């Protein structure tokens, strides 16, 4: 029987270039404000945005979006323009 050669990773699924947008808790913004920002900026549905807001509140941070750095940096900037805290980090 012939063994198949291992498949090369597709560049689009390579985790080396995946990043995470993390929302960071603060003591100033309301839940409705955070939820609205996540819906408008990250494309979350309202329930997902509410869950992320609650996780951020109770744990201090929440991964709100995964993707390419070029996509997440503008989202992080837009989040910051709304008075929220976020950062983009490389997936480890």
Residue 89 has pLDDT above 80, yes or no: yes
Report yes or no on 11 lying in a domain: no
Report yes or no on 4 lying in a domain: no
pLDDT at 7: 44
Which residue's structure tokens are 């404000």? 33
pLDDT at 52: 98
- Do 55 and 22 contact (CB within 8 A), yes or no? no
Report yes or no on 5 lying in a domain: no
Q: How far is CA 83 from CA 7, 29, 30, 76, in A?
A: 45, 8, 11, 11
How many separate domains does the chain show?
Answer: 1
CATH of the domain at 62: 3.30.1390.10
Tens digits of residue pLDDT in 36-88: 999 999 999 999 999 999 999 999 999 999 999 999 999 999 999 999 999 99
Residue 32 has pLDDT above 50, yes or no: yes
Residue 12 has pLDDT above 90, yes or no: no
Strand pairing of 61-67 and 85-90?
unpaired
Structure tokens at 51: 């869950």
The residue range of the domain holding 54 is 17-90
Report yes or no on 78 lying in a domain: yes
């Amino acid at each position: 029987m012939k063994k198949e050669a291992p498949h090369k990773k597709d560049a689009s699924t390579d985790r080396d270039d995946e990043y995470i947008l993390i929302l960071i808790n603060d003591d100033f913004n309301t839940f409705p404000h955070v939820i609205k920002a996540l819906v408008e900026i990250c494309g979350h549905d309202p329930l997902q945005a509410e869950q992320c807001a609650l996780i951020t509140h109770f744990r201090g941070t929440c991964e709100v979006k995964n993707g390419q750095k070029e996509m997440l940096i503008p989202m992080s900037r837009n989040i910051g323009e709304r008075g929220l805290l976020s950062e983009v980090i490389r997936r480890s």
